[in-house]
Amino acid sequence: MNVEQTQFLKLHEHQGYIDQTIDLLNSEWPKSVSYREKVLRSSTDDLPVNLILVKGDNVVGFCRLIKTQESMLGVESVVTDKNVRGQGYGRILMEGVEEMANKYYEPRIEKGKEHYLYLYTNTAQGFYEKCGFEITSAPQGFGSVVSNLNSGQLSGLAAMLQKRQQSLPHENTNKDGSIWMRKQINKV
């Protein structure tokens, strides 16, 4: 593996990287620049937080750590630069977000309760399995994440995903192959 030294940063503390981050996201999921800016600027230590992986001076990865009202954590919009895929940066990105989720839970941990990081995917199950995630059913209350997000589009997406999940022919798999996955991130 040829992974040069990288930095895992909170985007709101390094706003000079916003334009590059918009380009990275739009190279995978094209959206208007104004929409991207709005979502990318809605980032705080208290979540949701936008996270970037920077190599040299280039943004090579992005993901967003979010929480539900029940304080369950999820990761979304995981992406690495097409030019560096397959070189280990995705794994570094996931390790970074898990560490951040761990830090978030640390002062809030409830003894005897299991804490997980959730995600929803139809394209990268194998990648997440390699990062230690397992398939699960839809987390209860995950739809309420929408009330914590500033973006109307993200709200619509979360509601749609939950609706789809309710009509599944099988417990864990959606019609289009989308699945929920989770990883336990803090053991007491």
Ligand X SMILES: CC(C)(COP(=O)(O)OP(=O)(O)OC[C@H]1O[C@@H](n2cnc3c(N)ncnc32)[C@H](O)[C@@H]1OP(=O)(O)O)[C@@H](O)C(=O)NCCC(=O)NCCS
Write out the residues near ligand X by the rule CB under 6 A: 28, 78-80, 85-91, 121, 123-124, 126-127, 130
- Dihedral (CA of 160, 165, 166, 169) sign: positive
Residue 27 CB, shortest distance to ligand X, in Å, is 9
Q: Kindly tell me which of 70 and 95 has the beta carbon lying closer to ligand X.
A: 95
Q: Kindly tell me which of 45 and 129 has the beta carbon lying closer to ligand X.
A: 129
- How far is it, in rounded angstroms, from Cα 151 to Cα 146? 8
Residue 120 CB, shortest distance to ligand X, in Å, is 7
Residue 109 CB, shortest distance to ligand X, in Å, is 27
Selection from 118, 123, 125, 124 nearest residue 141 by Cα: 118
Q: Kindly tell me which of 56 and 126 has the beta carbon lying closer to ligand X.
A: 126
Residue 93 CB, shortest distance to ligand X, in Å, is 7
Q: Kindly tell me which of 66 and 79 has the beta carbon lying closer to ligand X.
A: 79
Residue 75 CB, shortest distance to ligand X, in Å, is 9
Give the number of other Cβ atoms within 10 Å of residue 101's Cβ.
23
Q: Kindly tell me which of 109 and 153 has the beta carbon lying closer to ligand X.
A: 153
Q: Using an 8 Å Cβ cutoff, are 59 and 21 in contact?
A: yes
Structure tokens at 154: 């993200």
Angle, alpha carbons 115-94-172 (nearest 5°): 60
